[in-house]
């Protein structure tokens, strides 16, 4: 051997085998910062997806209601509700009703509430109002998803 102190080499390898507490804490801080950035970035995505799903449901229900109106000559009354899209209401002649107009039953909004249907509508007086009460479940608040112009609120 060329003058290498083997005990020094062994001691150096032994000291560098693990991570120091400071290195571990630094890695944990970096991971926590990254998790916070990712979490805040995607927090609003689920609510945005629910709003989009409610708008899509309302558009599908509008299509079904328009088909009902073409066949029956009128929209379902408020009393008949959206169930008239699945089961023939008593006020519609048998040969005029070509339903069911929706296949999977009347959907609930993404927050688990019934869609609000009113005919004639307060806002759409010649047809109907169709809305979701939104995340708060309260009709008539700012978070409602509606089928009428925002100016009519």
Q: Is 10 part of any domain?
A: no
Per-residue pLDDT of the chain (153 residues; tens, 9 = 90+): 555 555 555 555 555 567 787 888 888 888 888 887 777 666 667 888 899 999 999 999 999 999 999 999 999 999 999 999 999 999 888 888 898 999 888 999 999 999 999 999 999 999 999 999 999 988 888 989 999 987 544
Q: Does 138 map to a domain?
A: yes
Contact 78, 119 (CB under 8 A): yes
CATH label of the domain that carries residue 79: 3.30.700.10
- Residue range(s) defining the domain that contains residue 110: 55-153
Model pTM?
0.70
- Domain contains 1: no
**Number of domains present in the structure of the chain:** 1
130 forms beta bridges with 117
Residue 105 located in a structural domain? yes
Q: What are the C-alpha distances in Å from 150 to residues 88, 144, 153?
A: 33, 10, 6
On whether residue 44 sits in a domain, the answer given is no
In a domain, residue 85? The reply is: yes
The reported pLDDT for the residue numbered 33 is: 85
Are the beta carbons of 137 and 115 closer than 8 angstroms?
Answer: no
């Amino acid at each position: 051997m060329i003058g290498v102190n083997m005990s020094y080499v062994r001691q150096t390898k032994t000291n560098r085998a693990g991570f120091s507490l400071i290195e571990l804490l630094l890695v944990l801080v970096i991971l926590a910062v990254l998790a916070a950035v990712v979490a805040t970035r995607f927090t609003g995505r689920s609510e945005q997806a629910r709003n989009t799903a409610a708008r899509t449901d309302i558009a599908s229900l509008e299509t079904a209601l328009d088909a009902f109106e073409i066949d029956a000559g009128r929209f379902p009354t408020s009393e008949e509700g959206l169930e008239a899209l699945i089961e023939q209401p008593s006020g519609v002649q048998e040969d005029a009703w070509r339903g069911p107009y929706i296949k999977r039953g009347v959907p609930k909004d993404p927050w688990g509430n019934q869609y609000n249907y009113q005919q004639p509508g307060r806002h759409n007086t010649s047809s109907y109002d169709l809305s979701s009460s939104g995340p708060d479940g309260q009709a008539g608040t700012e978070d409602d998803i509606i089928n009428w112009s925002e100016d009519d609120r």
